Amino acid sequence: MSVTNSLSTNAQKAQFIGTIGEHPFETTTAQVEQTDNSIAFTTTHRDDGDGSEELYIRFSKAITPDEVRQLTGSRTDQVWVQLKRSENPRAYPYVEGSLTLNKISDHPFAVIGSVYAVTQDPELKLDVKFEVTV
């Protein structure tokens, strides 16, 4: 039986810029969860009203320069968006698309990348660029 170590922290530096459908998504904070094999970012864009969009990106730590990963039901590489609204909150997995990653450094772990993906709802097309230092 293997033991998975997990560490959750706030990112030292984070920038996410892009769109979810026609809606802008921009934030400079991220929660980071690291395990032995993977890393995940959770970041939230708050709207002017009472709503927000939460983006979750998880991928393997074994990154090669300019690596493109296809989002086709992978257990390691996952992207989700959760629409937090007072009316009709919902969450969607992105099952088709690509996650492009380029690791900048190991200590501290830093990565730049982008994600372009779609769900069953064409109005939720995701196009976001990011840079995160753990």
For the domain that residue 32 is a member of, what is the CATH number? 2.40.128
Burial class (CB in 10 A: 0-12, 13-18, 19+), 128: buried
Residue 23 counted as domain residue: yes
pLDDT given for residue 1 in this prediction: 43
Average pLDDT over residues 57-81: 83
Instruction: Give residue for tokens 């970041």.
Output: 43
Which one has a higher pLDDT value, 11 or 87? 11
Model confidence pLDDT, tens digit, residues 28-66: 999 999 998 899 999 999 987 778 999 999 998 888 778
Instruction: Give residue for tokens 């998880």.
Output: 58
Q: What are φ and ψ of residue 132, in 5° steps? A: -135, 135
d(CA 11, CA 32): 6
- Please give the tally of structural domains in the chain: 1
Burial class (CB in 10 A: 0-12, 13-18, 19+), 2: exposed
CB < 8 Å & 24+ apart, contacts of 38-44: 38/76, 39/109, 39/111, 39/134, 41/11, 41/14, 41/130, 41/132, 43/14, 43/16, 43/130
State the residue range of the domain holding 112: 6-133
Please name which of 45, 32, 52 lies closest in space to residue 128, comparing C-alpha atoms.
45
Which one has a higher pLDDT value, 28 or 106? 28
pLDDT given for residue 74 in this prediction: 66
Which one has a higher pLDDT value, 122 or 31? 31
Over pLDDT 90: what percentage of the chain? 48
Q: How many CB atoms lie within 10 A of CB 121?
A: 11
pLDDT given for residue 31 in this prediction: 97
Residue 51 counted as domain residue: yes
Residue 1 counted as domain residue: no
Residue 27 counted as domain residue: yes
